[in-house]
Structure 1
Amino acid sequence: MRSVVAERIVEIFERAGVTGCLHVVDLDAVDGGAGTGEPGGRREVAVRADEQVVIASIFKVLLVLEFARQVVAGQLDPRERVLVTADDRLGGWGIAGCADDAEVSLRDLAYFAMSVSDNTAADLLLRRVGADVLPMLAAELGLPRTRIAGGPRHLVETMLADVGARTEADFARIFPTLPPERVRAMRMFDPAHTTSSTAREITRLLGLIWRDEAGPPEACAMVRGWMARQLFWTRLAAGFPPGVRVAGKTGTLPGLHLEAGVAEYPDGGRYAVAVFVRATQLATRRIDVDLAMGQAARAAVEGLRAG
C-alpha cells in the first residue's frame, strides 16, 4: 500500500508531466521495519524504486569511487598527467569543449567528471582505471542490478550507429529530424542495452560511500568531496532550504532527468536520494522538471523526518 508521502510525490511528478522513480532512505536511523517494506527496517520512501532504469552519467559515481580506491591502494598516482587531444574529446562540458590540447592530472579528470559531468574526462579516467573493473566493483558492493555497459565513448558510438551517423556532426544534423518513436527506440533509452540500475541500488551505493563502507575511508571521503562540488543545482539542491548541504550527481539524456545525492541537515540527519524521471518531451533543459525533482526529494525527506 502506497504511503501518503509517496502519493504526494506521484502528484508532484504528474503535475510536471513526468513519470518517475524515487528512493529516499535515512542513512542512520532504524525504526524496526514497520511500514518500510525494506529488510532491516531502514526508514525509506519508495516510488517504483526497484524499476530498472537508465542512469546515464550517474555511473560516474562508481567510476570515481574505483579511481579513489586505486589511489588509496597505491595503484594510481593522482598527479599523473594526461594529455587531452582533439581525438579524445567527446561532446559536453569541461575539457570536452576545449579548442586546444590540454594537460591535466588524473585527479582533475575525476573532479571534472563529477563537478560538470565532463564526458571526456570520464572516458579518459575510465581507460586508466579499467572498464572491466566497474562491474566487479558493483558486484562487490552488493549492487546486482547495476549494469555498466561501457563509458561515454561507447554511448556516443551507440548513438551514432542507431541513427546511421558517422560523425558527431552528422548526428547533430540527423537527430532533430527523427520522430519521437524512433528516438525512444534507441539503445541509450533501453535499460537492457545501456548502463542502468535501480533507484534503490543507487541509494545503497551512496549509503556505503557516506558510511565509509564502499572502500577505505580516505577513498569514500574523496568521492563525497567531489560530489559536493557539483555545479548543477536546479534539481535536488533546489528543493532544500538554506543550511541543508546537498552533494549530488546528475544524469541527462533527451527526455530523461536524473539525479542522486545525499542531503545533510544541520542536526546531523543524512538522507540518500535518487530521483529518476522521464518526460514526454525530449528536451534536456526543463527547469520545471528539475524543480519538481527537488520538490519530490524534499517531500520524501521531510516525510521521514516527521516520522
Structure 2
Amino acid sequence: MSINDAVAEVSAGAGVEMSTDDELAAVFTGAGVEGWLHARDVDTGREIGYGAGEPVVIASIVKILIVLEFARQVSTGTLDPAERVVVRTGDRLGGWGTAGCVDDVELSLRDLAYFTMSVSDNTAADVLLDRVGPDVVPLLAAELGLHRTRIAGGPRQLLESMFDDVGARDAAEFGRVFPTLPPSRVRALRVFDPARTTSSTPEEMTRLLGLIWRDEAGPAEACAAVRGLMFRQLFRTRLAAGFPADVRVAGKTGTLPGHAMEAGVVEFPDGGRFAVAAFVRSAAAPGVLDATLATAASTAVERLRDLR
C-alpha cells in the first residue's frame, strides 16, 4: 500500500473530513516515520505546521544561510564573486562535487556557491564559509530573527563530530563502525541532538525562505542570487517529487543516517508561492523517507492553496 493509499484509508475509516493535522499524522505514521513540517504562503503569511516549533537538526540546509551571507557580501562589494580559490586535498570532506575530486581544483567563489547548492558539496561549503567568516553566519541568523537557529560550525565540524563520537578516523571507517552501534550509542551522537549540533525549527526555516523570496533577507540582488541557486539543486526525490512538472521547486536538502530533510519554495503557474520545511526520521529505507517527505509537503501545500 502506498503512503497516499494509507492516508485515504484512514480518512475513509474516520467517516469525516480529516483536519490537516490528522492528514499529516496519517502520512507520517502510515509510513512508520517521525515527521516535522511547516508550510507557509510566502505572500499571505497563512501557515500550516506539524511539530513546527520543535527543534530539529538541519544538516546541509544550513548551506542556505552560508550562501545567503556570501551573496550579501558580494552585493555590498565586500567579496568579488570571481575571486579564484584552490581546493586542495586537505580541504576535501568526501561526497559530491569538488569534495570527490582527486586533484587540486581551482574555481571562483561563485562557483563554490553553485556547487554548495546544486550538489550539496561539503568541501565547497566549508571553503566558502571560511571566506565569508564562520562567525558571521550566526550573526546573520540573529539579524533575520532566527533566534532558535543554532549554527555549530560548517560541514567539517559536523562530520568531525560524527567521527569523534564513534571513534572513527575517516568516512570509510565511520561507514564500517556506524551500522554496528547499538541504538543507545546512535542516539548519543551529537549530530542527532538539536541542542548540540546545527539546528533550527521547521517554522524558522520557512520564515528564512519567505524573507529570501520577498527580498527581505538582504539586498534584492543577493536574495535573487540565492533563489537562482536553489532552483539549480539537482536532487529531485524529496520536495520536487510531490508536485507536477509545471510546478517550479527550489530547495536545499539535508541528509544524515536515518534522517531526510528539505527546505524549499514551491511556485505554481498561477503565481502561488509556498515555503516548506519538512523533516523525517526513521530506520526505513531512504526511498521511504523521501516519498514520505514529498507526500507530506504536497499535502500541506494543497491545504494552503485551498485557503487562497
Q: Same fold (TM over 0.5)?
A: yes
C-alpha contact 1:260 1:275 (8 A) present in aligned 2: yes
Matched, 1:10 2:25: yes
Give me the CA root mean square deviation: 1.1
Matched, 1:237 2:252: no
Q: 2:87 aligns with which of 62, 84, 89?
A: 84
Compare 159-168 and 95-104 and name the one that shifted more.
159-168
2:169 aligned partner: 166
2:290 aligned partner: 290
1:128-277 aligned at under 5 Å gives the runs: 128-277=131-280
Q: Report the CA distance between 1:288 and its aligned residue.
A: 2.1
Compare 156-165 and 251-260 and name the one that shifted more.
156-165
C-alpha contact 1:94 1:118 (8 A) present in aligned 2: yes
Deviations 1:275-306 (A, max 9, x none): 0111134x5xx112211111111111111111
Distance in 2, matches of 1:137 and 1:10, equals 34
Matched, 1:303 2:303: yes
Equivalent AA in structure 2 for residue 5 of structure 1: T
Deviations 1:97-128 (A, max 9, x none): 11111111110110001001000000000000
Compare 202-211 and 76-85 and name the one that shifted more.
76-85
C-alpha contact 2:281 2:289 (8 A) present in aligned 1: no
Q: Report the CA distance between 1:55 and its aligned residue.
A: 0.3
Compare 192-201 and 9-18 and name the one that shifted more.
9-18
Equivalent AA in structure 1 for residue 34 of structure 2: T
Q: Report the CA distance between 1:172 and its aligned residue.
A: 2.9
Distance in 1, matches of 2:303 and 2:234, equals 27
Aligned residues: 290
1:19 aligned partner: 34
Distance in 1, matches of 2:289 and 2:174, equals 26
TM-score by length of 1: 0.92
Equivalent AA in structure 2 for residue 51 of structure 1: E
Change (3 A) 1:176 1:280: closer
Q: Report the CA distance between 1:169 and its aligned residue.
A: 3.4
- Give the fraction of aligned pairs with identical amino acids, expressed as a percent: 67
Structure 1 alignment gaps of length 5 or more = 30-41
TM-score by length of 2: 0.92
